[in-house]
């Protein structure tokens, strides 16, 4: 089913004051596709992600989601149409229980905003068991996030995005600071997305991880798309060489 357009960016630019961070970004993400955004620090990756998730609004340009022209107004709006971001650690609150973290910002409620704690706990238990596959007895829905390892936190963030049935999952540095074993697990999650016919945008500094999980690579440099390659068109070494030459000379 890799034939439908899920997300299309058309001429997206973003300026903060006089500083143009992104200029004329065009690309498309298909259903069931994992696309890696690669580029050095300051290339504009995180600004681009923040535009897609509704944190920032583009200065010019248009976003099409599921073939509909869409103005993404806020984080909750992007979530409601099926875009979910998994940020390394940053989108979990340490001292709060797991079930509260999973449902934060979209609590299950009875009436007048009173939360259905029982239901949230039941659903969390299901997510822990079925979606994430936590078997450790030490982790329950009443655990607080601060007691989890980096990989477990990432697992919670993934579980959350899958539970809410996002079509496009954005992964910002999901393996940063993880142990080898945990990294494997996270990369496994990403590969598993394809079977569920979900799409993902993947950002990682580690080119080995990127090459391992992504179907396509979009190279960003200084706010512009410098090139797009399918995995079969380019070897890992070639990709790396391109990155290096880009870093030194500003072109391939």
Partner 1 sequence: MTPFSSEFFKYYRLQVSIFSILVGLVIIYVVGNPLAFTSFPLYRAFMSTMPFFGIIAISATLVITLGEIDLSFPSVVGITSLIFGSALVETESFFIAFILSVSVGMFAGLINGLLVTKVGIPSIVATIGTMFFWRGLVNVIAKGKGIAITLVEGSLHHKIFVGRLFGYIPAQFIWFIITAIVIGVIYRIHTFGNHVHFVGDNQESARMMGINVDRVKIIAFVQLGFFASFAGIFTMYEMLYFWPSQGSGLLMTTLAAVFVGGTSVFGGKGTIFGTFIGVLIIGSLEAGIIAVGLSGFWVQFIYGLMITLSVTVYAFLLKKKT
User: Pairing state of beta strands 60-65 and 68-70?
Assistant: antiparallel
Output the six-digit token pair for 72: 């993404």
CB 106 to partner 1: min, Å = 7
What is the β-pairing status of strands 34-38 and 68-70? unpaired
CA distance 80 to 164: 9
Cβ proximity to partner 1, 137 vs 248, nearer residue: 137
Give backbone dihedrals phi and psi of 38, rounded to 5 degrees, phi first.
Answer: -120, 155
Nearer to partner 1, 38 or 91 (CB): 91
Instruction: Name which of 81, 55, 80, 86 is nearest 69 in CA terms.
Output: 81
Provide, rounded to whole angstroms, the least separation between the CB of residue 144 and partner 1: 9
Query: How many whole angstroms separate alpha carbon 252 and alpha carbon 239?
Result: 10
**Between 115 and 207, CB nearer to partner 1:** 115
Six-digit token string for 147 = 């007691």
Give the residue with the Cβ less far from partner 1, 17 or 113: 113
Task: Give the binding site for partner 1 (CB under 8 A).
Answer: 53, 55, 74-76, 79, 85, 87, 90-96, 100, 104-107, 109, 113-115, 117, 142, 146-147
Q: Report the distance separating Cα 167 and Cα 109, nearest Å.
A: 24
CB of 69 to partner 1, least distance (A): 22
Cβ closer to partner 1: 85 or 171? 85
> Minimum distance from CB of 63 to partner 1 (Å)?
18
Q: Minimum distance from CB of 219 to partner 1 (Å)?
A: 26
């Amino acid at each position: 089913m890799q034939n439908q357009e899920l997300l299309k960016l058309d001429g997206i630019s973003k300026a903060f004051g006089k500083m143009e961070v992104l200029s004329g970004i065009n690309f498309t993400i298909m259903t069931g596709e994992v696309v890696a955004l690669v580029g050095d620090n300051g290339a504009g990756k995180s600004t681009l992600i923040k535009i897609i998730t509704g944190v920032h609004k583009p200065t010019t340009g248009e976003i099409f989601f599921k073939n509909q022209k869409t103005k993404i107004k806020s984080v909750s709006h992007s979530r409601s149409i099926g875009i979910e971001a998994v940020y390394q650690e940053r989108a979990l609150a340490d001292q709060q229980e797991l079930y509260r973290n999973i449902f934060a910002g979209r609590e299950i409620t009875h009436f007048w905003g009173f939360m259905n704690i029982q239901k949230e706990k039941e659903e969390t238990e299901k997510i822990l068991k079925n979606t994430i596959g936590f078997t450790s007895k030490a982790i329950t829905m009443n655990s607080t996030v601060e007691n989890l390892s980096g990989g477990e936190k990432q697992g919670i963030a993934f579980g959350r995005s899958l539970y809410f049935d996002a079509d496009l999952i954005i992964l910002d540095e999901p393996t940063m600071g993880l142990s080898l074993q945990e990294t494997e697990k996270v990369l496994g999650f990403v590969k598993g997305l394809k079977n569920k016919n979900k799409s993902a945008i993947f950002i990682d500094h580690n080119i080995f991880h990127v090459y391992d999980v992504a179907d396509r690579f979009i190279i960003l440099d200084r706010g512009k798309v410098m090139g797009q390659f399918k995995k079969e068109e380019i070897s890992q070494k070639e990709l790396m060489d391109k990155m290096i030459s880009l870093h030194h000379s500003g072109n391939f």
